[in-house]
Structure formats: structure tokens, C-alpha cells
């Protein structure tokens, strides 16, 4: 009897520990069409479209939840506007408390008129939802933040007239274009930083800095070449101006010499005329 009670007590403690350590991912309750491979839940794809597919997580979350997802375009070309929506519904039991709708360009909620605009068609997008129950006001303040491989940035804030202390999550999606909408995880704790991912990010930043450095070196080289070219052009213009000035001086000197020569000839002719007239007058008076 003692050993039976001991085994029952051990089983009870083990059950409690399993319940405390329980983290439901991937979810157990999904539509049959939802694809689950290696803890990756694909809600919509070219094979899963034209209707909404969902998964309901039975795990209870308390005051916060982190959701990592991605939305990828298909290779189709569209002639009219389409939209694909990834939905997150917060539930208490079987009651829907409120929902978030993640479009390609915005996030909106049925509990608020506010919208959060951005580009949500990429990989490794994280959404953080925090719920702050205000017991005296009988309200819950909700903050939504998003991140793309970096720190979280505020998205939207609103409050609902109900107290939400713990909740469950339902994820659902719909598309008519075959967009791939994937959820990588739903957890109540923020994932630790991925060192490999950070190294890749640093490598990308280094490559971009190297490209910028090369561009700056090319620009500096071109600037130096342009400075040398401007200096050469300046010297050429200076030499050209000096040559033009010397030619002008020579022309002025030549014209001046020519004018002086002409003036001297005119003066000589004038003096000759005066002498000649004087001689004729003297000759006439002498003959008389």
C-alpha cells in the first residue's frame, strides 16, 4: 500500500511537472490540410488556398506571447489587387476575445480602429503581444510590437473592456494567390539571440561597409583625377591667355610702329612741300 501511494505520488508530481514544462509546438489541433514539417506550420500555399486553414493551440499563455512567422509571394503575376491574411485570435476557452489580421502591408485588429503599417512579406518576422490587465478598470491594455531580426519596435496599442489574464491562441490564414504563410513558433518566452544569425548579419554589414569603402575610394580617386584635370585645364587656359596677351601686345606694337612710320613719312612729305614752296617763292623773287 505504501509503495502504491508512493508510485501514485510520483506520477502526480511528474504530471504536474509535465504540465508546467508543457510547450505546445507544433500544435496538436489543426485542419487536415495544414502542413507541419520539422516544427514549421504552413497554413497556406499554392496547394492550400481559396479557404481559411487554422490551428488552435491548447496551451495557456499568461499576459504575453511571441509569434514568429513569414509570408512569401508566389511566382504568379496579378492583374488586379489581391491580399493574403494571417490571423491571430486570442481566445478564452471557446470564446474569441479579439483578433489580429496581418496583411502584406499592415496589421489591424477587430478590437481597435488603429492600424500598423509596414512590409510584412519577408522571413523571420517576430510579433510580440503583451496583455496588461487593469483589474480596477475592468479593462486590458494590449501592446503589439514587431521585429525583423532586430530589436522590437512599437506597432499598435489599444485596450478592450474585459480582463484577460490567461488565454489560448488560434492561428489561421487565407489566400487566393497561393502565398506561402508560415508560422515557425508560438511561445510565451522570447527566443534567445541566434549567434550564427548575428554572425551572418555582421558579415552582411561588413560586406556592405566594404562596398561603401570601395565606392568612397573610387569617388576619391575620381575627385583627385578631376582636381588634376582642372589644374591642367587652368594651366592651359593661363598659358593660352598669356599667349593671347603676347600676340595682342605684338599686334599693338606692330600697329604702333606702322602708324609712327606713316606719320614720319607724312611729316617728311609735309616738310618737303614747305621747302619746295619756299624755294619756288625765293626763285620767283630773285628773278624779279
E strands, 135-243, are 139-148, 153-160, 166-174, 180-187
**Sign for the pseudo-dihedral over CA of 269, 270, 273, 274:** negative
Percent pLDDT > 90 in the chain is 40
210 belongs to a structural domain: no
Residue 40 in domain: yes
Range of the domain at 161: 23-190
Asked whether residue 39 is assigned to any structural domain, the reply reads: yes
User: What is residue 4's three-state secondary structure?
Assistant: helix
7-27: burial string, b at 16+ Cβ within 10 Å, e else = eeeeeeeeeeeeeeeeebebb
Q: Flag whether 270 is in a domain.
A: no
How many residues does this entry show for the chain?
Answer: 288
**Count: domains in the chain:** 1
pLDDT, tens digit, 9 for 90 and up, residues 146-167: 988 767 889 999 999 989 889 9
- Domain presence at residue 148: yes
285 domain-assigned: no
What predicted TM-score, i.e. pTM, was given to this entire model? Answer: 0.60
Question: CA–CA distance from 36 to each of 136, 176, 184 (Å)?
Answer: 42, 21, 10
- β pairing state of 139-148 and 106-109: unpaired
The CATH number of the domain holding residue 89 is: 2.60.120.200
* CA 248 vs CA 59, 93, 121, 237, 262: distances in Å: 98, 103, 74, 16, 21
Which regions in the chain score pLDDT beneath 50? 1-6, 8-21, 193
Residue-wise pLDDT for 228-281, tens only, equals 888 888 888 888 888 888 888 888 888 888 888 888 899 898 888 888 887 777
Amino acid at each position: 500500500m505504501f509503495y502504491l501511494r508512493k508510485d501514485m505520488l510520483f506520477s502526480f508530481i511528474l504530471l504536474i511537472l509535465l504540465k508546467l514544462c508543457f510547450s505546445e509546438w507544433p500544435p496538436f489541433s489543426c485542419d487536415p490540410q495544414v502542413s507541419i514539417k520539422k516544427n514549421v506550420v504552413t497554413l497556406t500555399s499554392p496547394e492550400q488556398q481559396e479557404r481559411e486553414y487554422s490551428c488552435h493551440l491548447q496551451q495557456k499563455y499568461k499576459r504575453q506571447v511571441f509569434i514568429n512567422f513569414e509570408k512569401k509571394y508566389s511566382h504568379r503575376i496579378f492583374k488586379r489587387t489581391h491580399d493574403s491574411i494571417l490571423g491571430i485570435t486570442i481566445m478564452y476557452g471557446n470564446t474569441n476575445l479579439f483578433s489580429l489580421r496581418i496583411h502584406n502591408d499592415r496589421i489591424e485588429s477587430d478590437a481597435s480602429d488603429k492600424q500598423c503599417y509596414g512590409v510584412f512579406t519577408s522571413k523571420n518576422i517576430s510579433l510580440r503581444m503583451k496583455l496588461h490587465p487593469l483589474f480596477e478598470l475592468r479593462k486590458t491594455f494590449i501592446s503589439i510590437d514587431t521585429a525583423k531580426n532586430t530589436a522590437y519596435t512599437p506597432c499598435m496599442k489599444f485596450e478592450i473592456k474585459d480582463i484577460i489574464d490567461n488565454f489560448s491562441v488560434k492561428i489561421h490564414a487565407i489566400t487566393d494567390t497561393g502565398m506561402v504563410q508560415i508560422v515557425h513558433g508560438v511561445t510565451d518566452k522570447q527566443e534567445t539571440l541566434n549567434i550564427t544569425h548575428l554572425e551572418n548579419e555582421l558579415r552582411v554589414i561588413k560586406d556592405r561597409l566594404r562596398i561603401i569603402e570601395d565606392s568612397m575610394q573610387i569617388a576619391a580617386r575620381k575627385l583627385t583625377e578631376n582636381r588634376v584635370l582642372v589644374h591642367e585645364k587652368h594651366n592651359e587656359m593661363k598659358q593660352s591667355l598669356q599667349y593671347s596677351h603676347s600676340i595682342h601686345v605684338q599686334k599693338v606694337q606692330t600697329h604702333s610702329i606702322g602708324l609712327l612710320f606713316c606719320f614720319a613719312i607724312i611729316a617728311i612729305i609735309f616738310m618737303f612741300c614747305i621747302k619746295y614752296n619756299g624755294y619756288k617763292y625765293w626763285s620767283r623773287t630773285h628773278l624779279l
